[in-house]
Structures are given as C-alpha cells and as structure tokens.
Structure 1
C-alpha cells in the first residue's frame, strides 16, 4: 500500500508506541512500585519480571511475534500466517519469559505439549487449546490478545473488513472469547483510521462487530469517553483494558502543534490508572503512535526501549520501525521507508515533557 510520508511516520509509530507504553508501565504493574503524584512514569525496569530499564514485557514481545510475520507481507488470515505467528509465540514462550499471563501460559503450554508429542499445525492446535480454555473458563476474555494486536492493524490498512477478520483470527490463537476478538477489531480499526486519516476514533469499528453486541460496546465506549479514567481498574478484562486505554487517550487534552505532549501525557494517565499498567499503556501506546507517529515519541524513550527477540543484540526502536515499515510496504521498503528508519537511528534532540 502506498502511504504519504506523514502516513508512513504514523504507521511506524504503532509498534514504537506500543513498546514505549509497555516499558513505561513495567515498574508500576500491580503496584510493584508506587508512583508518587508529582513524578512522571519512567522506564525504570523491575516490575514483575525484574526487567532491565527500558525493556518491554510480554505485551510487546507477543506483538513482535506477530510483526515478524506481518513484515513478510503475509495475509494474516491464512493458515500459513497463523501457523507462523503461533510458532513465534512458542519460540518466545520456550525461552521461559517472565510475567506471562495465566491464560496465555496455559494455552501455549498445552500447545507445546501436543506439538512435542508429534502433532502438526501450530495454529490449529493453538486455536483448539484456546477453545478448550474458553469452554472450561467462561470468564476468559482477558486482555492478552488486545495487548498485542497493534501490528495486525498494519498488515491490512487497505481493507477494513479483511483487517477485522485478521484481528479476530489472531486473537483467537490464545483468546477464543468473542469479547476478546471484538476488542481487537475495535482497536485495530481505530489504529487504521489514525494512520490513514490522522484522527482518533475509538468508535470507528462498531459496524464491524456482530450486531447483537454493537449496542453493548457502544455503551462501553461512551463510558470510556465520559468517566474518570481511574474508574477502569482492575483491567485484566479485555473490555476494561480497552476502556482504560481509550479513556487515557480521549480524555487527555491534545494540541496538534505538540504531538509528543499528548502522547506522553496520555501514557502517563494510562499508567496512573493502575493495576495492569504495562498492558494498558501498551494498548494506548499503539493507538497514540498511530496518531502522532514515530516523530511524536520522545528520543530518550526511543534510545532506551528494547526487548525480545534477541539475536546479536536486543531488538530496539530501529527494529520496531523497520518491521512496521516492511509491513505497510508489503514486505519491502522504499527510499522513504529507509529514511524513516534512519531518522529513528539518528534522532536525539528532543526530550520528554515533564
């Protein structure tokens, strides 16, 4: 898909925004560290996984597992793509990562057991285990699919209906509950609109949901727009997590001339809601990055953010931008895309808003 330079910057902000929100929220997850009222969140590391400063957690790692497939130009609704995503989830899980959600751990663990016993088709097996989990646990609409959904939006910017199908299928690999799929559809469509049109519209995807749940979601989104953000805690439930992220974004004043200020302040609000802080901030960060672009992410955050997968070095902001660029350029990058990556490598002049 051909994007203007401004749209491309917004697209490259999606994964970057997810990662910086995640890394900012890590120290404060479930109040592992109390955040004083007069102190902005910082990438201090620690948290439930004893992460390094600036290191992202499972939210972005699982998003990266999807992004690595999306960056090949794959159609994420196909069995081959879903198999590849499932295999990447398992590759990450096999490394014994810290702070894995209980539902995700159960589904991935059961999938690994079956594949090790000789079964084939990682995507099929994982979806079956996801269905089994949902059947055994009626309240299984956790936020673990929504937290990683941002890269799905980049894979199908040109077709909102196909994007909705992809969002639901990728969510179902670990979260079969329909509400988990709904939340991913809504957030992916909001990201698509932000990238292409440069506006925030959390209601844009309501018509993509099953008609029997549209009114209920409309009410939930109205609550997110009008109620105090701190209302939306605890937020392990996918609906409350989406409401928390949406409230932090739409209720934070924005200024077109100061994009990084809105991005920073909205992420600060997301984290101050409390509870699952890294996940809520990662969700919010994906949409904020889609609206304000990679240029809206402060360079101190870009320099320090890093995490899985690790090869010769940990993945960092350059890798996030490169993956997003390859995804929206159908698996390859042109000269404008390469210049965007170079901009992230060389940026270092702005500072975080205090």
Structure 2
C-alpha cells in the first residue's frame, strides 16, 4: 500500500471520529446558518467535553479492533464479539440510540444470532428500523477490504450488510452501509468521489430507488434533510451533499454540522468519506489534539489501531 492510500485510509477513521465530536455539541438543535462559526466545543445534551466523540465512534471502535487483531469482520465469531462489546458498552453509555439500546439491552445471550433476532423483533414491533445507527459506525470496516482483488468490493458489501443487520433489520440501513463503504473504499484507493459506485451491489429492485435518492442529494443542500436526518436515507443524503459541496475535510464536517438535528451522526458519516478523500493530515491539528472518547482512547490510538488493521490485511 502506498503512502497516499495509507493516509486516506486512516483519514476515513479520523474524519468520522472528528465529525462525530464536532457535531456532539450541536445535536438536536436547529440548523446553524452562516456566518456563525462551528467549534469543537463539546456541550450538548450529554455535556460532552471538547473533542469527545459519542456513540457513533464508540460503536465503530470494536469494528476497528476486530480488524486490528486480524479478524474477519464478517465471520460469525467476529460478529459475536461485536455484539458482546456493544452490549457491554451500552450498559453504561449515556447516548445509545433508542433502537440500538432496545436491541442490545434485551439480549438473552450476546451473540450475533440473538442480536439479529432482536433487531427483527424491534422492526416487527415498530414497523420500521431504518435509523442511521448502523451507517454511523461503518467507516472503519473499509480498512479490511483494500486489497486489489476481484470480488473485494462484493466482500466489503456483504460484511457491511452483516454488521448493519446486527441492530438494524430494514433494507435501507444495510443498503446505506453498502453504498457508503464502497464509496469510502473507492476514495481511499483513487481519491475520487463516487457514491453511485455501489449501486450494482444492491438488490436489483433497490437500485433505481437509491439512484434517485442520491441524485436528489446531488442537487440539494445538507440542510434540506434536517427534519428527517435520523433516518438512514436522509442522513446519508445530507452527508453526501456536505461532502460533494466541499473542497476540504474541515469544510465537509462544518457543512454537515450546520444541518442541525442529528448533527454528530451526519458529520460522522460525512467524515468517513471526506477523510478518505483528503487524508488524515487534512484534519485540523487543534481538532486532532482534542479528539478522544470511549474507551479512553485518543486520536493517536485510533491511528495505531488503523495501522494495525492495515498491516493485518
């Protein structure tokens, strides 16, 4: 792997965590118009410290650790490990999403099979389960699928969907993770933005629907999706619009946070893709210095885990 690709891969992880922490203080608040500055100041509903990430990155860390250990993230034993890690975290975390909490806290056993069953039960009870909680954590998964081999994108798509299904049953959630992971991988390898690339990896009857959704995002502003950005589709559209209209990593994250409402998640999603486009060095130094969160990690720890994940492939 060349230096540029390495830089972009780590950028995907750091960019997602930084977006999460930047948006933490603005979560559930109205959109923030220009020229009001967006700052890594913490605060918000859960009184975050400046630079502290939220559930988005906390749930991503076990995925990154699985890769750092050299594990196959789509293997059932690895999926069991993710469920166990998330369930332990959810016992004390203040900010677990409602759907995710309902799945993880009622498990008979901390296994992937039980988690999938609970996710299906949650969906059947509510009639929907396409929140943005699986998309928000998905960026680190890409580091396990950067080999130049036939079928690598398809393997990434299958892993993305398998991990999404642990907590989110509805097809929109899995589709969103597939599209975003494939776009991040493509950005890491080429430096190009192409969110439509993963359409062919969706079920045939889903492709046109998602093509229309993505085209709408291309002609919209992130704030156009504010009212519904807790839904995985609107969160992805808002993040895509933020990245598409930006020329730097910082600009993409700021645009995402300006949307209001679920700011940390939209910015975490945007940060995974923007970080893959611009690389780890594009993250402002003052943000990187502040970045930290569960489980007592800092930015340098995320970098170390990312490097281990890349070396293990």
Give the TM bin, normalised by the shorter chain.
over 0.9
Paired residues for 1:36-185 under 5 Å: 37-94=34-91, 96-111=92-107, 114-115=108-109, 122-158=111-147, 159-185=152-178
Aligned to 2:241: 247
Following TM superposition, by how much is the alpha carbon of 1:37 offset from its aligned partner in structure 2, in angstroms? 3.1
In the alignment, which of 181, 188, 191 is matched to residue 188 of structure 1?
A: 181
In the alignment, which of 208, 214, 217 is matched to residue 221 of structure 1?
A: 214
Q: Are positions 1:298 and 2:284 aligned together?
A: yes
User: Does the Cα contact within 8 Å between 2:257 and 2:264 map onto a contact in 1?
Assistant: yes
**Which moved further from structure 2: 208-217 or 131-140?**
131-140
Aligned residues: 308
The structure having more radius of gyration, on CA atoms, is: 1
Paired residues for 1:280-299 under 5 Å: 280-299=266-285
Q: Are positions 1:200 and 2:193 aligned together?
A: yes
Following TM superposition, by how much is the alpha carbon of 1:139 offset from its aligned partner in structure 2, in angstroms? 2.0
Aligned to 1:342: none
Could you list the runs of 5+ residues in structure 1 that have no partner in the other structure?
116-120, 255-261, 332-354
Q: Are positions 1:275 and 2:261 aligned together?
A: yes
Aligned to 1:9: 7
Aligned to 1:30: 28
Question: 2:26 and 2:275 mapped to 1: Cα distance?
Answer: 21
Following TM superposition, by how much is the alpha carbon of 1:197 offset from its aligned partner in structure 2, in angstroms? 0.8
Q: Are positions 1:231 and 2:217 aligned together?
A: no
Aligned to 1:330: 312
User: Does the Cα contact within 8 Å between 1:191 and 1:286 map onto a contact in 2?
Assistant: yes
Question: 2:73 and 2:258 mapped to 1: Cα distance?
Answer: 34
Following TM superposition, by how much is the alpha carbon of 1:76 offset from its aligned partner in structure 2, in angstroms? 1.2
SS at match of 1:30: coil
CA displacement 1:85-113 (0-9 Å, x = unmatched): 1111112112x1112110001001112xx
Question: 1:251 and 1:297 mapped to 2: Cα distance?
Answer: 17
CA displacement 1:287-328 (0-9 Å, x = unmatched): 111111111111111100000012xxxx01111111111112
Could you list the runs of 5+ residues in structure 2 that have no partner in the other structure?
none
User: Does the Cα contact within 8 Å between 2:32 and 2:260 map onto a contact in 1?
Assistant: no
| Higher RCO structure, 1 or 2 (CA under 8 Å, sep 6+) | 2
Following TM superposition, by how much is the alpha carbon of 1:36 offset from its aligned partner in structure 2, in angstroms? 6.0
Following TM superposition, by how much is the alpha carbon of 1:82 offset from its aligned partner in structure 2, in angstroms? 0.3
User: Does the Cα contact within 8 Å between 1:14 and 1:324 map onto a contact in 2?
Assistant: no
